[in-house]
Structure 1
Amino acid sequence: MDFTFYTPEELAANESFINYYRGINAADVEKWQLWISASPQNATQATAACELLDAVYHVPSAQEMSYERQRLLNHISNSTAPNIDNSPIPTRQFPLWVKFGLAACFALILGYFSYQYLGSSNEVIWETSTASVGKKIKLTLSDGTKVTLNSNASLRYPLKYQGETREVFLEGEAFFEVAKDKAHPFIVHSGEISTQALGTAFNVTNLPSSKEVKVSLLEGKVKVYGKNEIGQVLLNPGEQALFDKANNQLILKQGNTDQAVAWLTNTIIFNGANFDDIALAMQQYFGKKLINKSNANNWSYNSSFKNADYKTVIEAICFSKNISYVEKGDTIIVK
């Protein structure tokens, strides 16, 4: 749980808290609900932040705008030269956070109306959704494409698509069910490679700590290509594209699609997994760092786990290798 203290202004400027306020990201909603319930002080700060955001996200209707405009014009036309009053002007002291909050609100509201009435209507507004460790979230993009983000994955996408292509940026692992639109190809950028589809279902794995990026195709056809003239491959169902980060090589191979999307059913599959594969899975699914201080050399491990917690997984692995483990915070040491 996050024990950080936030002021109302910090919360109102926090993208994750704004997602909670707007209710558009299940992971963020859960995160901030836990934070708010942790203490009465957190609840007070969150309430104040929501009041600031109420002012920002309230968009006046056309009738309200017309009324306020006419009221301002009437006030100007009826005004006469003011009488000068040299008496001291009474002042009201507000808390510092209220002053900063009001200033932030006025700046945001001014920016909003400047964009609405003066800015370009073609500007793309981007959103980022992130699945917390051990959680999956499902998204439906503006074109109808459905995306499932695996644990610790992040997707950056437009709130509304414009132009000739539909593009998103992925870190981590995600499963895509792309809405068909032949006139507007759907493109997933994942590190050094991109995957282009018209209407299909595929899985992309782009983990920061992994040595490769993997694209697994279940339905349809996709084109996977890389930057800097790495090349391209066309995938048919049941095939995989593997990009080696170290050698900048993109290859085509037959793949096990059932294993590639096992995570959608909370299943972890180890098929001849070495220690690095196991450590990667423990970090991705459970947020646990695995360190090997044992004498075990042959880590070719085969097993599968469904709806298992990290202790079940690590205990089964240690039992099969006749080794033990100790925990230190989020670190697991096998010995």
Structure 2
Amino acid sequence: MEKDYSKYTVQDFLFDEAFILLAYRGTEEKEIWHTLLKEHPEKTIEMEEARRILHSMTFAEDEISEAQLTSIADKVKQQITAGEYQKKRKNQLSSLYKIAASLVILAIICFGTYRFIDFDEETSTDIPLAAVHKSNPRGQKSKVTLPDGSKVMLNSESKISFPKKFDHGLREVHLEGEAFFEIKKDLEAPFIVYTKALKATVLGTSFNVRSFPEEDYTNVALSTGKVSVATIDSSDIQNKVVVLEPGRQAVYHKGSSKISEGSFDMEEILAWKNKTIYFKQANMADIENKLERWYGVDITVENTARKKVSLSTTFKDQPLSSVLKSLAFTLKFDYQKGKNEVIIRFK
């Protein structure tokens, strides 16, 4: 391919005639974009944003020819070159939506017949009205099948939302909490997981996402395939896109708003999925939080000895009574167990 797609921005994709044709009609250029995705997975997010903007307008397939699309793109390019839409980077996506609006206007002026979907200037990750919402309380896990057949294991105290039907060449879900995804491969429809701070974009892979509101980090850990991770905040120019290989993870630190990349312990990260409680140098607060989420109980510790605890062990598919008995022996405490409450008293 002659074009240097590795340097393409969202704006570049918006004004690439072949991309516009692909986004609307899925012409023979599909193979070019399949090759692009394989060679430049780091550009998946830019392509997804461009396609999202283009699909804010929905033209009938037989109303726009390649020559007409080229004419529209050329006219908008002239406006951008003249500086009408140049903005600071922190307003870049807002500008792109204005550019998309100009495409609509030009299409109306040049070709008359049209139809389009309303859109706001600001980037939005709102859940569509026709959406499916799944949630688990503490002490419960569940399996969810998405509209495309992809599988999700949803952890306790977690919730996921997604449209009843994926369309416009995109597959998007919103997650709070933790889930393991096994995504069906589809080169024409990137799969995107949105958390409050991050979005992970894939084509077909398996990975774990952890994003609990009370924790100071969001984690994306890749098991198979490839995944591209970026922050939701488009104004943050210091965070580049992180493309993960199997066995690597991206961690977003809420305090510094930075993303770090590194290896991870697969057994530890995926323990919850395999019905295993995994403690690694856990203090008493960590133990409390994990047991409360796992078993759906409230735990109260009546003294300050918790500060001295450092526990490393695992429990495979065991009832709360067995776990408490083992922990009481190891950490030297007494406990009183009610229906939905546990009181711990250190000796």
TM-score scaled by length of structure 2? 0.57
Question: Paired residue for 1:263?
Answer: 272
User: 1:209·1:280 contact (CA, 8 Å) conserved in 2?
Assistant: no
What's the CA shift for 1:278?
1.3
CA distance in 2, matches of 1:316, 1:231: 45
1:220-239 matches, within 5 Å, as 220-228=225-233, 229=236, 230-239=239-248
Aligned partner (choices 145, 159, 166) of residue 161 of structure 1: 166
Unmatched 5+ stretches in structure 1: 1-119
Q: Label 1:289 to 1:242 Cα distance change in 2 as closer, same or farther (>3 A).
A: farther
CA distance in 1, matches of 2:220, 2:288: 21
Does residue 136 of the first structure (1) align with residue 141 of the second (2)?
Answer: yes
Higher RCO, Cα 8 Å, sep 6+ = 2
Aligned partner (choices 317, 326, 332) of residue 322 of structure 1: 332
SS at match of 1:174: strand
Question: Paired residue for 2:130?
Answer: 125
CA distance in 1, matches of 2:323, 2:214: 20
1:286 alignment partner AA: Y
User: 1:294·1:323 contact (CA, 8 Å) conserved in 2?
Assistant: no
1:311 alignment partner AA: S
Aligned partner (choices 154, 157, 170) of residue 152 of structure 1: 157
CA distance in 2, matches of 1:310, 1:211: 27
1:57-206 matches, within 5 Å, as 125-206=130-211
What's the CA shift for 1:217?
0.6
CA distance in 1, matches of 2:169, 2:338: 51
User: 1:217·1:257 contact (CA, 8 Å) conserved in 2?
Assistant: no
SS at match of 2:308: coil
CA distance in 1, matches of 2:249, 2:284: 23
Question: Paired residue for 2:215?
Answer: 210
User: 1:294·1:334 contact (CA, 8 Å) conserved in 2?
Assistant: no
SS at match of 2:307: coil
Unmatched 5+ stretches in structure 2: 1-116, 118-127
Aligned length in residues: 214
1:288-299 matches, within 5 Å, as 288-292=297-301, 293-299=303-309
Question: Paired residue for 1:286?
Answer: 295
CA distance in 1, matches of 2:256, 2:339: 35
Question: Paired residue for 1:241?
Answer: 250
What's the CA shift for 1:311?
2.4
1:203 alignment partner AA: N
What's the CA shift for 1:294?
4.0
User: 1:126·1:157 contact (CA, 8 Å) conserved in 2?
Assistant: yes
What's the CA shift for 1:296?
4.0
Does residue 254 of the first structure (1) align with residue 259 of the second (2)?
Answer: no
What's the CA shift for 1:190?
1.5
User: 1:296·1:321 contact (CA, 8 Å) conserved in 2?
Assistant: no
1:319 alignment partner AA: F
User: 2:292·2:298 contact (CA, 8 Å) conserved in 1?
Assistant: yes
What's the CA shift for 1:164?
3.2
SS at match of 1:277: helix
What's the CA shift for 1:246?
2.5
SS at match of 2:305: coil
CA distance in 2, matches of 1:312, 1:213: 31
Deviations 1:204-234 (A, max 9, x none): 1112222221111100111111122244322
CA distance in 2, matches of 1:127, 1:286: 26
User: 1:124·1:161 contact (CA, 8 Å) conserved in 2?
Assistant: no
TM-score scaled by length of structure 1? 0.59
Task: Give the aligned CA root-mean-square deviation in angstroms.
Answer: 2.0
Does residue 309 of the first structure (1) align with residue 314 of the second (2)?
Answer: no
What's the CA shift for 1:124?
6.2
What's the CA shift for 1:289?
3.0
What's the CA shift for 1:134?
2.4
State the identity %. Answer: 32
Deviations 1:269-310 (A, max 9, x none): 111112232122112211223333242433210111111122
User: 2:283·2:306 contact (CA, 8 Å) conserved in 1?
Assistant: no
1:248 alignment partner AA: S
CA distance in 1, matches of 2:187, 2:343: 51
CA distance in 2, matches of 1:235, 1:152: 27
User: 2:139·2:294 contact (CA, 8 Å) conserved in 1?
Assistant: yes
1:196 alignment partner AA: T
> Which has the higher Rg, Structure 1 or Structure 2?
1
What's the CA shift for 1:149?
0.9
Question: Paired residue for 1:88?
Answer: none
What's the CA shift for 1:314?
2.6
